[in-house]
Amino acid sequence: MLNRDLHIRYFKRCLEMLPAAMQSLDATRMTLVQLCLVGLAVFDAIDEALTGDDKHRMIEWIYAQQVPANANNSNTQYRGFRGGSLFGPHGQIKYAPANCGNLAATYSALCALVLLGDSLERVDKPAIIGAMRQLQQESGCFSPHPHTTERDPRFIYCACAVAEILGDWSGIDIDAAVAYIQRCVCYDGGVTQGEFQEAHGGHLYCCVASLALMRRLDAIPVDRVLKWALFRQSDGYNGRINKAPDACYAFWVGASVEMMGGHDLIDADGTFAFLMKCQSKFGGVAKTPGEYPDPLHSALGLVGYSFCRPDQLQPMSPSLLLPLSLTRARSIGSAL
């Protein structure tokens, strides 16, 4: 059975300190904060696990990562949130000139602020939306920041989620983004990172969730894409053809199935049984049975569990990693 108390303690512990084996994840601290809060939210336990002072400190730390408008004189500086702090030799917070905001970190920061109950009044919304226009490429895809050639559907999703949370879609050329996603759909219904590449469950989610948020899910052959997603069930879900199941795909693929209307076609018992095998006796969920848990597989595995057993956990939005009750209260994520 699902051990609620152990999982809550696990996420609270990860918010305070990560084990040494995970120190390489420190550069993505904003995402780790988001994932731990999502894990607590699945159990409706944020207020239970965190004091008012805890929330205040987290909120202030998140806002400390917001790149100020006068960060430097570069016209290509992305105004958003950093992935974390840079620390000097004596522990002081120190920012490098090139340490600009990041679209993925901005998405994580906004989700975390919403989960912590912040009003978002201090978010520099016009600067973030305006800077997003710089990040959309001629292809319709997005880059995470101006100083990289990296671009794929992950950042289309981040841009759509940011636009939805802030209630402003003026920073996205929706038709161009939809056209890019259409080119990522394979002959067999799988969805790729780009044309003529291998279909993958993570990119499936980013594209389907982006279309759902843009209210353009009918732009792809849903029946064919849903069939590919359903065939990823093998005990739990796998992310690619002929791969073993992995706990995180209970979210990446499972949420995609939910958005495409395939809930009644899933093997809920098989997915549930696999996730229970991945559950650690110390709290948290591992990628596969017998491995150590980590915040990503723990949070996403439990959200995937919530789709299989919606009566046992907090109902979560498949298009945004937020509780449905919270998205309805804030009038965000109304598409799904």
Instruction: Check whether 54 has a pLDDT greater than 80.
Output: yes
The pLDDT value given to residue 311: 87
3-state helix, strand, coil in the chain (%, to 5): 50, 5, 45
Domain assignment of residue 244, yes or no:
yes
Instruction: Check whether 96 has a pLDDT greater than 60.
Output: no
Domain assignment of residue 172, yes or no:
yes
Name the domain count of the chain: 1
The pLDDT value given to residue 1: 81
Q: How sure is the predictor about 284, in pLDDT bands with cuts at 50, 70 and 90?
A: very high
CA dist 225 → 86, 149, 160, 201, 234 (Å): 42, 28, 20, 11, 17
Domain assignment of residue 334, yes or no:
no
Q: How sure is the predictor about 99, in pLDDT bands with cuts at 50, 70 and 90?
A: low
Closest to 211 in 3D by CA, of 184, 238, 250: 184
Instruction: Check whether 309 has a pLDDT greater than 70.
Output: yes
The pLDDT value given to residue 89: 45
Average pLDDT, the chain: 91
Q: Compute the distance between CA of residue 17 and CA of residue 301 in angstroms, rounded to an integer.
A: 21
Domain assignment of residue 90, yes or no:
yes
Beta-carbon contacts of 312 under 8 Å, excluding residues fewer than 6 positions away, are 2, 305, 306
Domain that holds residue 59: 4-327
Tokens of 142: 């997005």
Q: How sure is the predictor about 336, in pLDDT bands with cuts at 50, 70 and 90?
A: low
Instruction: Check whether 50 has a pLDDT greater than 50.
Output: yes
pLDDT by residue (tens digit) across 137-148? Answer: 999 999 998 888
Instruction: Check whether 176 has a pLDDT greater than 70.
Output: yes
Q: Compute the distance between CA of residue 260 and CA of residue 223 in angstroms, rounded to an integer.
A: 8
Domain assignment of residue 76, yes or no:
yes
pLDDT by residue (tens digit) across 3-16? Answer: 999 999 999 999 99
Domain assignment of residue 333, yes or no:
no
Q: Compute the distance between CA of residue 78 and CA of residue 103 in angstroms, rounded to an integer.
A: 8
Instruction: Check whether 181 has a pLDDT greater than 60.
Output: yes
Instruction: Tell me which of 62-71, 273-282, 284-293, 306-315 is least confident.
Output: 62-71
For residues 85-97, give the mean pLDDT: 50
Domain assignment of residue 335, yes or no:
no
φ, ψ of residue 98 to 5 degrees: the values are -85, 0
Top pLDDT among 59 and 24 is at: 59
How far out from the chain centre does Cα 207 lie? 13
Q: Compute the distance between CA of residue 111 and CA of residue 133 in angstroms, rounded to an integer.
A: 21
Domain assignment of residue 332, yes or no:
no
50: CATH? 1.50.10.20
pTM: predicted TM-score of the whole model, two decimal places: 0.93
